[in-house]
Amino acid sequence: MLKAPRARVFISCGQNKDSGEVEIARAIAAKLTTLEFDPYIAVQEQTLRGIIENIFGQLRTSEYFIFVDFKREKLAGKGTCRGSLFSHQELAIASFLGIDVLAFQEDGVKKDDGVLGFIQANAIPFTERSKLPDLVEAEVRTRGWDPNWRNELAMVREPKQHVDTTDPTSLKISRWFHITVKNHHRHKTAKNCYAYMQSFTDLAKRTSVRLNLVEYNWAGVRLPNAQIPPGEERRFDAFVIDHTSPTELRFNPFATSEEFLPPRIKKPGKYRFDYLVVSDNFAPVRQAFTLTLERSLNDTVFERTSDSASSI
């Protein structure tokens, strides 16, 4: 059983070990974990690759952003201190991405300096660093942050899930296997969702084929695209097996040529299918599924492959 998604919180603050900032960040993360969030502590990156792969990647997939502006050196002739430059850069990216921000600023830092002066984050002041984790917890509760959602789509299925249908003319019984696409957002509808199979792998032969992309059909309708309301789910057709031919798969994409179909499967074995789902307003998501095809249809299992999900 897959764990319920938890909202991700990006924690942006200084990493000065001598002043205990690392420990404070960890204490904030522990408070958020207790509140059932999934926290990430931003570690300052020294290379452009590290910034792009780690910082940008984590920011793009976070639902919430906590900004802590610790004091740095004093500003000449100002009587105040500057804040953390790196954290301000992360705050600018979070603001651009439209992430919900909760900002805290240490007493003595120049007010409304840098990005704070432009985004009107209304930073909450604090004086005692040791009390900051409790202050963060209280403000998260007051703000009403919800840990039980994510700004993402996910592909899932129960291993034995299927639907049997009977053709009214031939009375032939077919078993349909679907993949469920869940919208984990609280209030945003996923618009124009399209599903594709990207590759096919025969795990016994260790051979893989990259497929020409073609849209797959959504269950219950003859359409290549679907809308998925917030918190809801839709299924698309993975493949179908006739009861009279339990080791032979048929596929149901919007294809007019066999060059867009996976290789024919007509015998028991273990196979992997890699899928892609895109939409107008969510990050694309990839997910692999493994088919264990048996001679008895009731023994056949089609399940989500562990640790294979990724956003593009």
Answer yes or no: is 268 within a domain: yes
Name the token pair of 202.
């025969």
CA angle 177, 182, 187 (to 5 degrees): 155
pLDDT in tens, the chain (312 residues): 556 789 999 999 887 777 788 899 999 999 999 999 999 998 754 555 656 667 888 898 899 999 999 888 788 777 788 777 778 888 999 999 889 999 999 998 888 776 776 776 788 999 999 999 999 999 999 999 999 999 999 999 999 899 999 988 888 999 999 999 999 999 999 999 999 999 999 999 999 999 999 999 999 998 999 999 999 999 999 999 999 999 999 998 999 888 898 899 999 999 999 999 999 999 999 999 999 999 999 999 999 998 655 544
Specify whether 87 is located in the same domain as 160.
no
Answer yes or no: is 185 within a domain: yes
Answer yes or no: is 148 within a domain: no
Specify whether 88 is located in the same domain as 161.
no
Give the pTM.
0.83
- Please identify, among 96, 120, 143, the residue that sits at the C-terminal boundary of a domain: 143
- Please identify, among 111, 143, 175, the residue that sits at the C-terminal boundary of a domain: 143
pLDDT at residue number 111: 82
Specify whether 130 is located in the same domain as 160.
no
Specify whether 229 is located in the same domain as 104.
no
Specify whether 158 is located in the same domain as 122.
no
CATH of the domain at 281: 2.60.40.10
pLDDT at residue number 312: 44
The structure tokens 């039980």 sit at 148
Answer yes or no: is 3 within a domain: no
* Structural domain boundaries, residue 17: 8-143
- The model's pLDDT over 245-299, given as tens digits with 9 standing for 90+, comes to 999 999 989 998 888 988 999 999 999 999 999 999 999 999 999 999 999 999 9
- Please identify, among 143, 172, 199, the residue that sits at the C-terminal boundary of a domain: 143
Which DSSP category does 51 fall into? Answer: I
Residues 6+ apart with CB under 8 A from 20: 129
Specify whether 77 is located in the same domain as 102.
yes
CATH of the domain at 87: 3.40.50.450
Answer yes or no: is 255 within a domain: yes
Q: How many domains does the chain have?
A: 2
Answer yes or no: is 2 within a domain: no
Residues 6+ apart with CB under 8 A from 183: 153, 189, 190, 228, 229, 230, 231, 232, 233, 282
Answer yes or no: is 1 within a domain: no
Residue type, 227: Q
Specify whether 68 is located in the same domain as 172.
no
- The model's pLDDT over 64-73, given as tens digits with 9 standing for 90+, comes to 999 999 888 7
Specify whether 126 is located in the same domain as 238.
no
Specify whether 109 is located in the same domain as 161.
no
Name the token pair of 290.
């493994």
Specify whether 129 is located in the same domain as 53.
yes
Specify whether 202 is located in the same domain as 234.
yes
Specify whether 304 is located in the same domain as 238.
yes
Answer yes or no: is 138 within a domain: yes
pLDDT at residue number 44: 54
**Strands 124-126 and 100-106, how do they pair?**
parallel
